[in-house]
Structure 1
Amino acid sequence: MSHMFWGAISFNQTLNNWKISKVNDLSFVFADSGFNQPLGKWDTSNVKDLNYTFAGAKKFNQNLNKWNVSKAENFNSTFKNAISFNKPLNDWDVSGAKICPHMFKNASNFNQTLKKWNVSKVEKAEQMFANAKNFNQNLSSWKIAKDAKVDEIFMNSKLATKPPKWFFEIDRTKGVYRNYQEVFLDKVYLKEAIPFSLRYYKIYGTCKEVVKLVHVGQSVICPNLFMMMKG
């Protein structure tokens, strides 16, 4: 079914009774389409790929909370640019998810709780909520791997200045400071972040080792550091 209705801007017929229990790939199925009909009856128990499934489907806003996505690994850009979507997804079993970058990027209306999600296997979550300007849910229950890639995960969302605690436990050598336009950080772990940040940020705060760090790249902890985007 991959790409089946991709770009079908006028298509909006009912498909809720389709039997898709053997389908394992729903990538791009409704991407950039005008589709907005119920799909809650679909048996998605064998689906492994939800890559771009509703990306750019700007009218889509249907309840998918009962979908069985327990076998799905790829959630890349699933709802990217789905600007109308704002339905519950908390019952999704995403315990098998590995790839989630851009999942809700630019989904400007989305603001539903995801606190039940098991994201322990996620390896890539770059820009997952970037530009999801209304998203302001508590994700403190998430247990995400410390080596997961989360660059710009909350960029331009309401969590950008108040990320969950686990965010500060992610490996600090991967450039995750690009998430911030303006933010106070308490006990920031700095290694390669400061040399990168000096190109884009003005840095204020109480870190006596910053100058030394810039030259030799050693790791230090800086409490109450403040960074502001240049320009």
Structure 2
Amino acid sequence: SDDDDISCWNTAGITNMDRAFWSYSYGGLKLFNDPLECWNVGQVTSMNLMFFNKKKFNQPIGSWDVSQVKDMEDMFSDSESFNQPLDSWDVSQVENMRLMFYYADVFNQSIGSWNVSQVTDMYNMFKSAYVFNQSIGSWNVSQVTDMRQMIYNALSFNQPLDTWDVSKVKTMSRMFRDSPSFNQCLSTWAEKTSDTVNTFGMF
């Protein structure tokens, strides 16, 4: 029920939190905003769709130990209110960040220090993250193969990305489409990318 207090649940043994609040996504329960800071997620390996469609959720979870997580796909997609610091997260094991901040309307926190060196998929990662404009130019994206629509319709984003190693990227289709603020030089990418990389509608 709406009165259930889950803030102090013992979650220490849980390894999968995919769709953890899925039942709250429909039937008028999109207003979920319970504090979860004390949850122990140290054994969790997947957080796919964890906060999907949580229209009101905006609780601090920056202290979470996410060092074992490999999958963060759709984690904050359609989370219209979420804007909490995540800079201290250890995401060094994460391989999948596709759609992670898709339509995260107000998210604009510093995540430039993240170690994303294991990530292979950033498809739609910041698509329609309207206000996001943080430096991510120091990210090690050398394992990423999919950057399709990564910054599509990210209306505010305008950060340098010229130092990125995009040598393994196979598709950049619509990567910066409908992102009117973006005005950065990417000439260095030409010598790093494969001759067969898909750049259809990139801008």
**TM bucket normalised to smaller:** 0.7 to 0.9
Give distance in 1, aligned partners of 2:95 and 2:58.
Answer: 25
Residue in 2 aligned with 1:51?
Answer: 73
Say whether the 8 Å CA contact 2:67–2:92 is kept in structure 1. yes
Give distance in 1, aligned partners of 2:169 and 2:139.
Answer: 18
Segments of 5+ residues of structure 2 without an aligned counterpart are: 1-16
**CA positional deviation for 1:157:** 1.4
Give distance in 2, aligned partners of 1:105 and 1:47.
Answer: 22
- What TM-score results when the alignment is normalised by the length of structure 2? 0.83
2:27 counterpart of 1:32? no
The CA RMSD over aligned residues, in Å, is 1.7
Give distance in 2, aligned partners of 1:91 and 1:151.
Answer: 26
**CA positional deviation for 1:58:** 0.6
Give distance in 1, aligned partners of 2:182 and 2:134.
Answer: 17
Give distance in 2, aligned partners of 1:122 and 1:68.
Answer: 18
Segments of 5+ residues of structure 1 without an aligned counterpart are: 181-231
2:139 counterpart of 1:117? yes
Structure with the larger helix share: 1
Say whether the 8 Å CA contact 1:160–1:179 is kept in structure 2. no
Residue in 1 aligned with 2:126?
Answer: 104
Residue in 1 aligned with 2:202?
Answer: 179
How far does the alpha carbon of each residue in 1:185-210 deviate from its partner, in whole angstroms, 9 at most, with x for none? xxxxxxxxxxxxxxxxxxxxxxxxxx
- CA distance 1:25–1:168, change in 2 (3 Å): same
Aligned residue type for 1:110: F
Query: Which is greater in Rg?
Result: 1
Residue in 1 aligned with 2:83?
Answer: 61
What is the DSSP-based 3-state SS (H/G/I as helix, E as strand, rest coil) of the residue aligned with 2:190? helix
Q: How many pairs were matched up?
A: 180
Say whether the 8 Å CA contact 1:143–1:166 is kept in structure 2. no
Aligned residue type for 1:141: T
State the identity %. 35
Specify which structure has the bigger relative contact order, considering alpha-carbon pairs within 8 angstroms and separated by 6 or more residues: 2
How far does the alpha carbon of each residue in 1:122-172 deviate from its partner, in whole angstroms, 9 at most, with x for none? 011100000001000011121111543111111111466645224434345
- What TM-score results when the alignment is normalised by the length of structure 1? 0.73
Structure with the larger strand share: 1
- CA distance 1:68–1:21, change in 2 (3 Å): same
Say whether the 8 Å CA contact 2:170–2:196 is kept in structure 1. no
What is the DSSP-based 3-state SS (H/G/I as helix, E as strand, rest coil) of the residue aligned with 2:201? helix
